[in-house]
Structure 1
Amino acid sequence: MKDVLKKYLPERAVQPTIQLIQKHRVQLQIVGQRKTRHGDYRKLPTGQVKITVNASLNQYKFLMTLIHEFAHLFAYEKYGNSIKPHGIEWKQSFQLLMLPFLTPEIFPNKLLPLLAKHFRNPTASSDTDAVLSVALKEFDPPNLKNYIFEIPMGKRFRIENGRVFTKGKKRIKRYECTCEHTGQIYVFQPHAEVEPL
């Protein structure tokens, strides 16, 4: 297990992660990229807990996703199944579990202040925290995509499902973009990744 996790986690995070997995008898499965989620928590009919994490994540997002899923386990064990999936009980569990990992030995110094701010009130996905999302993206392998905020107004771009849009004006935080095929206007987060045309 150690050799496998070394490929996906910061080196100093490997041993504490193994201890969590073994202590709670979690079945960890590293899976191919899913478009709708970075990870998943499930309690199997046998009673065992299964956590899946996307293999495509960089080491810092992989760690955060794995601990995010462990926070579901902790919250449900402590408070029962009637809690909201990303409610206060989950947030407190996530904060508690992430705290030992928020060190310069595990995360780069440039990420630590952003992580500290994010974990004051963690969200269901780090992708909704635009500043943190952009900072974490710097550790991804290079690709041909840009963020919406980098695309000039009036220029075309393609999203993952193949649809083509033209970037329009900025609302308070999001950008209005017109779908070329339907003429409908959609709003995009500034840090949504798209392929410029």
Structure 2
Amino acid sequence: MNTFFLVSLIVFWIKFLLTSIWNLKISNFVIMQDTLQKYLPERAVSLSMELIKENGVHLKIVNQRVTRHGDYRRMPNGSHQITVNATLNKYRFLITLVHEIAHLVAFEKYGRKIKPHGLEWKRTFQYLMLPFLRPEVFPTNLLPMLARHFRNPKASSDTDASLSLALKQFDVQDSEKSYIFELPHGSVFRIYNGKLFQKKNKRVKRYECIEVATGRVYLFQPNAEVELIKD
């Protein structure tokens, strides 16, 4: 086998492999875009895909976890994995996705020593979220609350009670669930892990609740969803 033929063969296979990889990436992005159509507002899909491609995000959509809506992890091989709960309504899904991408961008830009929800993340989240804050993406009744929230975004939109309640109106309703603020004083309720609590006094923004089994006092957000135990 002469040298020219060998080099030509190697070049051919390199081009073939590169083309195959490129076509696979395009195919994966097309599949991802079709998938996101189910979870995001229609006018937010293309811009979300740009953020995903630009930042090399591996997005996983998973069954609901009760402790958080999503998370970001830098994997051992250097890739970026973002996980978002499949059960979120499309507006909360979008906010969560951009929230996690903001972690990725902030860490890459400012280094891994910054606070997860510090000033660098807040500024990044505001910047990435701004193109979505328009009536073509969000209902007009949400926009004023979103504008207030993003003046100083919190670690979780759930801690912004007014915004959280406004977003919940787009959830699939669970007739067995109630909000803490709706419960009568002294009523007993069950949370996601089966533990029972009794509602007590309101302390500033949150409610003191006593765990029935231990007598320990815990603070609950007023918009926490729980199951009322009826007599």
Deviation at 1:157?
Answer: 1.0
Alignment of 1:25-40 (within 5 A): 25-40=56-71
Q: 2:178 aligns with which of 146, 156, 168?
A: 146
Any conservation in 1 of the 2:91–2:138 contact (CA below 8 Å)? yes
Q: Does residue 126 of structure 1 match 2:157? A: yes
Alignment correspondent of 1:105: 136
Deviations 1:77-136 (A, max 9, x none): 211111111110000000000000000000011110000000000011101111111111
Percent identical among aligned pairs is: 63
Q: 1:163 aligns with which of 195, 205, 223?
A: 195
Alignment correspondent of 1:179: 211
Counterpart-to-counterpart distance in 2, 1:14 and 1:117: 24
Counterpart-to-counterpart distance in 1, 2:121 and 2:150: 12
The amino acid across from 2:154 in the alignment is T
Q: Secondary structure at the match of 1:7?
A: coil
Q: Secondary structure at the match of 1:40?
A: strand
Deviation at 1:68?
Answer: 0.5
Deviation at 1:62?
Answer: 0.5
Structure number with the higher helix fraction is 2
Deviations 1:132-182 (A, max 9, x none): 111111110010211100001122111111111221122222222222222
Counterpart-to-counterpart distance in 2, 1:83 and 1:117: 24
Deviation at 1:37?
Answer: 1.4
Instruction: Please report the TM-score for the alignment, with normalisation by the length of structure 1.
Output: 0.96
Alignment correspondent of 1:92: 123
Counterpart-to-counterpart distance in 2, 1:116 and 1:66: 18
Moved more, 44-53 or 143-152: 44-53
Gaps in structure 1 of 5+ consecutive residues: none
Say which one has the larger Rg: 2
Moved over 6 A (4+): none
Q: Secondary structure at the match of 1:52?
A: strand
The amino acid across from 2:215 in the alignment is G
Counterpart-to-counterpart distance in 2, 1:155 and 1:23: 50
Instruction: Please report the TM-score for the alignment, with normalisation by the length of structure 2.
Output: 0.82
CA RMSD, Structure 1 to Structure 2 (Å): 1.1
Deviation at 1:184?
Answer: 2.6
Q: Secondary structure at the match of 1:190?
A: coil
Deviation at 1:187?
Answer: 2.1
Alignment correspondent of 1:71: 102
**Across the two proteins, how many residue pairs are aligned to each other?**
197
Gaps in structure 2 of 5+ consecutive residues: 1-31
